[in-house]
Chains A and B, each alone.
Chain A
Amino acid sequence: MLRVLRARLQQKHRTMGFPSGPAPEMPDRFAGRPVIQEPCPGDCRVCRDTCPVQAIRRGEDGRVELDMGRCLFCGACSEACPKGMIAFGPDYQLASARRGDMVVSPGPGTRAEAVSELARKFFSRSLKLRQVSAGGCNACEADVNVLGTPAWDMGRFGIQFVASPRHADGLLVTGPVTGNMLLALEKTYAAVPEPRIVIACGACAISGGPFADHPEAKNGVDSVLPVDLFIPGCPPHPLTALDGLLRFLGRPVPDCKKVI
């Protein structure tokens, strides 16, 4: 018993102050919200051809757009761009309630809204989630699991993963939704009582990720279920996920104002 107490004293209290205190320090090489500059030669397509998952396109106005829902944040485009017009900044606030809001255009980006009226009304003080991995590679799974450890402690906000869909208010889905998991995902969703929400976590769950257009899998959760929150990344940093969950519930979070 004394050993346990001694160890407890040595390990100290490590739960972070976020969101009322400062956000944990992010790695200096972290690849967050992409920043696209202009002007860009109209006939250049280096970034589009380099992107392994077709996340970059030209919009109707001819400007370069990057879809964070497809993006793996691998940086291949910024490495390839001959003019250095694409970079990945430190902004970790990437989650969005609408799929369309994840497309980044040139210029200073605005944070997409993540709040859901349904979530704010019913779950803002208690959100129980059933996690379903439907082809997830165990990176998204591991880094949402970490939110339950003492350092992140999302239980502080009443957010918790539960063992049964019957005890859950919604699903947090990872992976592109493999053909072999389709039925299990649908059954799990059907077992969640209404009102219920669905969160798509990671590039695979949003768009299929590296497996987009594979016949063995779907192109993400919203091809099967209605999705209420999208958390981009490969995998999303735990801070991106926690920030997204809190904003989803309409709870206050600090604004990540860092710009590059």
Chain B
Amino acid sequence: MGLFIPHIYNGEAISLSSVPVVQVKPFRLAVIAHVAAGDLISAMFAQPLGDGFRLYAVLCAPLREQLGIIATDVADSYPALTPDCPAANGFEREIFEQWGIRPEGHPWLKPIRFQPSRMTGQTPAVGITEFFSMEGGESHEVAVGPVHAGVIEPGHFRFLCHGETVFHLEISLGYQHRGIERALAGGPGGRTIHYMETLAGDTTVGHAAAYCAVMEALSGIQVPPVANSIRAIAAELERMANHIGDLGALAGDVGFLPTLNYCGRIRGDVLNLTAMLCGNRFGRTLLTPGGVRFGIDPDRRQRLLTRLDAVEKDLDTALSLMFSAPSVLARLERTGTLSMDLARQIGLVGVAARACGLSHDVRTGLPYGAYRFDSPPASTFHSGDCFARAYVRKLEVEQSIAFIRRQLNAPSAQNELRKPLLPLGPDRVTVALTEGWRGDICHVAATDHEGRFAFYKVVDPSFHNWLGLAFALRGQQISDFPLCNKSFNLSYCGHDL
């Protein structure tokens, strides 16, 4: 099992000096052994320390409801983990790009988001790098992006094809890089909550909740129960809105227009429920460290319940239509299949992982806030294809509706919405995981001697999952790309930060 890594709870703050710092060799062995035993790498990153760097790894052991954090000190290189632990691939490329620390033996240190070096400030020219290539009769490459045909974020895709069959899809991102992690260091400040809300704007509540958990852990306060409940309601509304939009878009990508149109509208109805909470359709301004800024009065509670019933009814016809149409199912089934084994190896999270039969869900595995008392069961399906990713979304929407109803039907006698925040404790570190609608959101923050952020690391679920999309395309028809892409619907800005 390798080295024992002391555990911390989700949203617990510990003294920075109590993070075990070991030699590189046991660090490697511990991370590799834990991941082989089923742990996920929630975050792995470097921070400058003296003349060298301290390398941190945060591991998530879902079956034991634990998080672990371990560190090692390195100069400018160390033996790479990736050859023995593919899930470390993205993290090691990121560490190399940010700090110039070379993971020796890493198979290919391609730029991951073409961001300015944190050491020299120099920015590599975006998209200019070496890509996989393929030669031979009838083989060709198709390049798409960064500007895409739809109203979506930018990214560059390269398909290596033989005829219509995709041998490999290469995904080159970074176009959305706005320098958020760099700007977070030294905070918190007035813009911090806005960075969180716009890290991945479709996951405003998910990232804001992780940030609030970080702040509350570092300042040592407990959030009022009502605030936890409202945060969870907002998080489930966010999940619903995005899943419903995705289900509609999947129907659209296979040419099934009724569900596309109904879901497009129903998604808006759900966004309007979030706007009923706080005035903003994406939940902006709702969460604040210490609690929430808006409550739910009895009249609002009733209106929410009534409109939730209407959403459920409309959704039922829209989705049963889609899931009973043989023409839809034939396109979804056995398209873009990932095996459970591969999902484990590359460290897939969220809907995409649960669609491969893995049961990890932060809400049940490492419950936080209101989920400590009532967590929707993890929804899984085993087939790993586009159908599974659609079906898991449908199951999750149903569970979210039931959860929101339970929360709204159990009003608390208390009405305190927020607690005042205390100054952040100095030299502390905390890890907060939340289950965003795409999967695990991980925020790791540490304070300096004065209680300011020494570093703030963000890992969006998309960071884990983009490689999954590349694998899902192998052996598929290139015409199935829109369908596969939508079945993952990953964030560009959440990846690029």
Contact = CB atoms under 8 A, between A and B. Distances in A.
B262 interface: yes
A11 B191 contact: no
A144 B262 CA distance: 17
Interface stretch (A33-41, A132-140, A222-230, A252-260): A132-140
Contacts of B114: 180
Contact of B199 (A137, A143, A234): A137
B177 interface: yes
B261 A137 contact: no
Q: Which of A4, A138, A149, A209 has the most CB of B within 10 A?
A: A138
B279 A161 contact: no
Interface in A61-114: 72-76, 79
Nearest to B121: A215
A149 B268 contact: yes
B376 interface: no
A238 B268 CA distance: 10
Contacts of A3: 321, 324
A198 interface: no
Which of A51, A72, A137, A184 gathers the greatest number of chain B CB atoms within 10 Å? A137
Given A52-B190, A149-B261, A210-B191, A235 B282 contact: yes
Contacts of B281: 143, 235, 237
Contact of B493 (A73, A138, A146, A149): A138
B178 A216 contact: yes
A71 B317 CA distance: 41
A184 B199 CA distance: 21
B145 to A, nearest CB: 9
Contact of A180 (B151, B174, B275): B174
Interface residues of B, number: 65
Contacts of A179: 123, 126, 177
Given A52-B191, A138-B201, A145-B151, A184 B279 contact: no
A10 B179 contact: no
Classify chain A's interface size: 35 or more
Contacts of B116: 215-216
A146 to B, nearest CB: 5
A31 B280 contact: yes
Given A184-B147, A210-B198, A7 B321 contact: yes
Interface in A212-226: 214-217
Interface string A141-156: 1111110111100000
Given A137-B493, A151-B265, A210-B195, A217 B154 contact: no
Nearest to B269: A151
B7 to A, nearest CB: 34
A209 B245 CA distance: 26
A29 B201 contact: no
Contacts of A139: 198, 201-202, 204, 282, 284
Given A8-B258, A11-B262, A178-B175, A138 B279 contact: no
Interface in B168-194: 174-179, 182-183, 189-191, 193-194
Contact of A11 (B176, B189, B276, B318): B318
Interface centre among B149, B200, B201, B491 (most CB of A within 10 A): B201
B278 interface: yes
B146 interface: yes
B258 A7 contact: yes
A32 to B, nearest CB: 9
A27 B274 CA distance: 9
B282 A178 contact: no
Nearest to A75: B285
A215 B121 CA distance: 10
Contact of A14 (B151, B177, B265, B282): B265
B157 to A, nearest CB: 14
Interface string B313-351: 110011001001000000000000000000000000000
Nearest to A191: B147
Contacts of B202: 137-139, 142
Given A27-B272, A132-B147, A175-B176, A150 B265 contact: yes
A27 B303 CA distance: 12
Contacts of B321: 3-4, 7
B153 A136 contact: yes
A137 B278 contact: no
A50 interface: yes
B229 interface: no
B198 A209 contact: yes
Contacts of A215: 116, 179
A29 B154 CA distance: 32
Nearest to A210: B194
B410 interface: no
B256 to A, nearest CB: 9
B125 to A, nearest CB: 9
A136 B493 contact: yes
A245 to B, nearest CB: 14
A214 B183 contact: yes
A149 B265 contact: yes
B123 A137 contact: no
Contact of B151 (A10, A151, A161): A161
B151 A184 contact: no
A97 to B, nearest CB: 23
Interface in B251-273: 258, 261-262, 264-265, 267-268, 271-272
Contact of B279 (A29, A72, A132, A183): A29
Most chain A CB inside 10 Å of its own CB: which residue of B175, B245, B271, B324: B175
Contacts of A73: 280, 284-285
Contacts of B493: 135-138
B312 to A, nearest CB: 13
Interface of A: 3-4, 6-8, 10-11, 14, 27-31, 50-53, 72-76, 79, 130-146, 148-151, 161, 163-165, 175-176, 178-181, 183-184, 188, 204, 209-211, 214-217, 234-235, 237-238
13 contacts: A7-B258, A27-B275, A28-B279, A135-B175, A146-B264, A151-B265, A184-B175, A204-B198, A211-B178, A215-B116, A216-B177, A217-B179, A235-B201
